Amino acid sequence: MPPFKRRQLLQFAVSAVTTLGLSQLDLQRRGLRYAKTLAQSTSRKLALLVGINGYPDPYQLKGCVNDAYLEQELLIHRFGFNPNDILLITDESNIKPTRAGILQGFEEHLIKQAKPGDIVVFHFSGHGSQVFDPDSGFKDQLNSTFVPIDRVVSSVGDRVTVSDIMGESLFLLMSALPTENVTVVLDSCHSGGGKRGNLTVRAIDGGRQIDPSSLEREYQEQWLSRLGISRAQVGRDRQRSIAQGVVIASAARDQLAADTPFDGFHAGAFTYSLTQYLWQATGNEAVRSVVANVARSTTRISSTRQVPEFEFKPDSGNEQKPIYFLKKTVPPAEAVVLKIDGQSVEFWLGGIEPQSFAAFNKDAVFLLLDEQGQNLGLVRLESRDRTNGLIGRGRLVEAKQPNLLKPGLLLQERARAIPGDLTLRIGLDESLGEAGSRASIQVMPRIPRLEPKALGETEVHYILGRMTEARYRELQQRQVNEIPPVGSLGLYAPGLDLIPGSFGATDEKVTDAINRLKAKFRSLLAARLVKLTLNADSSQMKVFAKMRIVDSTGKPLDLVAQEFTVRGESPLQQTEGLNQTPAVIPTGAVTFENGIPQLPIGTRVQLEVENREQRDLYVTVLVISPEGDMFVIFPNSWTAGTEAAIIQAGQTRKIPDPGQGDQFKITVGKPLGTAEVLVIASATPIGEALKVLQQIAESRGQRSGPVALAEDSTKAIDTLLGDLDRSSRGDNPLDISYDPSTRAVNTAQLAALSITFRSVEV
């Protein structure tokens, strides 16, 4: 099911938004808010962005300040906010994110300045918690709070009071805003605090023994008096709906919001997913669709099963309006120029797909565009900032109109550069113990391109750890199938989800486990390499990929997923409208979780790859299993030449297609878990890669059909990247000099798409 609110399915009793006390006000308050009935001829855009990292030990976070900057750069350069109308309250700002600073900022910057018709955005990234509130509307009598940096905790007997800002206070502050065009973005959660694998949960534990401070209650009374309403009325209104605008929360009440290490920086999994998606969006997509699509990437990044939610005023139509109540007026982009000094350029890389940052360290090339999309030149990336990897530095390669160069110009990807020595980073879990960690640090570097890392410091791709009793119980509570025995060693995702097929015996030594997993590491590295080519957001080619369920005869039934190159043409996309082709298609026969189709074991599927180019394309289709194993399903005639990989201009290839000689079926099977289909379409031949695939097939006695790459996966993918690199270097009219060790991938020559699904038991 798509992750937006459906009233018949997700009632307010389980809504994170209602937990925060954001509900409808009655007509009495509406009369107060709309004392001024005429809006400004040109709406002003106001934003208050709060990000808190510097909580006292052991509650420090690392990504919340970056969240505020991510939102700021997006609002200025994609949505037209005046920088002077954005108030940042972070650890680094003059106004600190204290209780008084946050509340005063909301009152002075938003309430006192906003007028009817204005646009208002409030963003909070930091810790959440819970306090006892008998009027919360929940059975547990807990209400959610936002934790300021100067939180005061005091004890009286067995009771504890905290100076948090309650959801009810935010509700009252929102009620005082004289405009309906309000968007609240909340990247925090309210239970399950602490570390989880390589992630930090944005919550400080609360409970029924914790009360709001008298200062908080007095503040609420002041606003009740100003608004002329009673606390009882507020309670009733809070149970109905929000007062106005839209509220977007990073996770449900019982879910975990992740503070996440990326390649070179930290940020909220949700905030980065949201802002990156909005940098790339090509149309004025409805907020309902935005949240549904962002949920997929958030879940993939955080590994905590957090599902963003949103709430809107009933009968307002706000769910169909564009996010922030604004239409985008500038082209999509990967980056925006911050400074230009002669030939040197500094830029903000907020539009890069999070899994792709390793391909944007050096030698990536960007088109320089103005707000109308006019090409003003090329910029070559030389480095990313060591303290904040969101900041890139490079040089002008070409400037067509030097007099027009200035901060605020947009950058679109022209080519990325995948390092030739890219590694697979393995985090070392505390369950290994000191001796196990030392052994891992000694043994792992002996395996080519494997790199051990401490948790919490940088991005890791997998975690080596033991199955503990606590994790075993948690997995049982989640009704996970086939849980490895306690004491066994294996691999986890960064948020501690299991990697199927990676766990061994309970008495296994760490060194033995690492040696046993060598083949698995090679497969996982190959998957990482090929995923660095994924460029559905930035490719200039026109390619579509679809997945359909078929019946036992092969007759197509439901369309369950599709991906396309958003900068190519889309028949369903309306540039000035509110619809964008969804990556997942709601259907009665398939359920969705976090926006990902759940396909029962035994389901037959068929893929379609459509070439909308006016030239033939050379296509490779890979499937990556939940265990990380890789299979080639197209091309699949291993005695043919390069023509076996061609999809002709304007044609669609079904996979499998008996009419084309395919003699296999694609059936969803075990292991259970998340799988991916990768479609790689090149404008130039992939001859060397095809030769390697033919050799692999021949070594296994196969003349046709899908081929498991197994221990040859890294070799096959490296060869494929070599083909793409030669193509990109050949399409180089300005003779840009790439580092010989990198693999260049040109967006005009390649489209790489991914369809994700999950195999489940019914």
In a domain, 674, yes or no: yes
- Binned at pLDDT 50, 70 and 90, residue 40 comes out as very low
Number of domains in the chain: 4
pTM of the shown model: 0.89
Burial letters for 647-680: b for 16+ Cβ neighbours within 10 Å, e otherwise? beeeeebbbbeeeeebeeebebeebbbbbbbbbb
Confidence category of residue 576, pLDDT binned at 50, 70, 90: very low
Whichever domain contains 349, its CATH number is 2.40.10.170
pLDDT digits (tens, 9 = 90+) for 423-482: 999 999 999 999 999 999 999 999 999 999 999 889 999 999 999 999 999 999 988 888
- Asked which of 511, 530, 549 is the last residue of a domain, the reply is 530
pLDDT reported for residue 753:
96
Domain closes at, from 492, 511, 530? 530
- Does residue 467 lie within any of the structural domains? yes
CATH number at residue 490: 3.40.50
**Whether 390 and 429 share a structural domain:** no
**Is the same domain home to 434 and 494?**
yes
Contact 440, 491 (CB under 8 A): no
Query: Is residue 123 domain-resident?
Result: yes
DSSP-derived secondary structure for 55-121: PSTT---SSHHHHHHHHHHHHHHHH---GGGEEEEETTSSS--SHHHHHHHIIIIIITT--TT-EEE
Q: Say whether pLDDT at 581 is over 50.
A: no
Indicate if 746 and 714 belong to the same structural domain: yes
Q: Which residue has the higher pLDDT, 582 or 629?
A: 629
Residue 306, helix vs strand vs coil: coil
- Mean pLDDT computed over 673-694: 94
Check whether 313 has a pLDDT greater than 50: yes
Positions of E strands within 541-644: 543-550, 556-564, 591-593, 596-600, 604-611, 617-624, 630-634
User: Three-state secondary structure along 347-369?
Assistant: EECCCCCHHHHHHCCCCCEEEEE
Asked if pLDDT for residue 584 goes beyond 70, the answer is no
pLDDT band at 648 (very low <50, low <70, confident <90, very high): very high
Q: How confident is the model at residue 411 (pLDDT cuts 50, 70, 90)?
A: very high
Q: Which residues of 596-614 are buried (b: 16+ CB within 10 A; e: fewer)?
A: bbbbeeebbbbbbbbbbbe
Q: What is the mean pLDDT of residues 413-432?
A: 95
CB of 636 closer than 8 Å to CB of 672: no
Residue 9 vs residue 105, higher pLDDT = 105
Q: Check whether residue 571 and residue 685 sit in a common domain.
A: yes
SS3 call for 125: strand
- Which CATH number does the domain housing residue 182 bear? 3.40.50.1460
Report the run of H or E that residue 531 belongs to, with start and end. helix 518-531
pLDDT at 302: 66
Q: Is residue 495 part of a domain?
A: yes
Is residue 349 within 8 A of residue 336, CB to CB? The reply is no
pLDDT above 70: percentage of residues in the chain: 91
> Is 434 found in the same domain as 378?
no
Is the separation of the CB atoms in 271 and 70 below 8 Å? yes
Q: Judge whether 145 and 1 are in contact, CB under 8 Å.
A: no
Largest Cα separation within the chain, whole Å, is 82
Average pLDDT over residues 146-167: 95
Whether 36 has a pLDDT exceeding 60, the answer reads no
**Within this chain, do residues 523 and 547 fall inside the same structural domain, yes or no?**
no
Q: Are residues 449 and 405 in the same domain?
A: no
146 assigned to some structural domain: no
What radius of gyration do the chain's Cα atoms show? 26
Would 59 be classed as within a structural domain?
A: yes
Phi, psi (deg, nearest 5) at residue 182: -115, 130
Query: Which DSSP letter does residue 250 get?
Result: S
Mean pLDDT of 470-499: 93
Written as six digits, the tokens of 108 are: 């002075």
What does the pLDDT read at residue 589?
Answer: 66
How far apart CA 668 and CA 658 sit, in angstroms, is: 19
- Do 386 and 523 reside in the same domain of the chain? no
- Could you tell me if 346 and 299 lie in one domain? no
Mark which of 488, 506, 530 sits at the end of a domain. 530
Q: Is 729 among the domain residues?
A: yes
The residue count for the chain: 762
Residue 586 pLDDT exceeds 60: no
CB-CB contact of 678 with 757 (8 Å): no
Binned at pLDDT 50, 70 and 90, residue 6 comes out as: very low
Asked if residue 220 is part of any domain, the answer here is no
In this structure, are 713 and 568 located in the same domain? Answer: yes
Is residue 29's pLDDT more than 50? no
Least confidently predicted of 89-93, 339-343, 665-669, 725-729: 725-729
Which residues span the domain enclosing 257?
12-28+46-128+167-204+228-325
> Do 278 and 310 have their domain in common?
yes
Higher pLDDT, 404 or 17: 404
Q: Strand runs (DSSP E) across 496-569, as ranges?
A: 543-550, 556-564
Residues 278 and 392 in one domain: no
Q: What is the DSSP letter of 139?
A: T
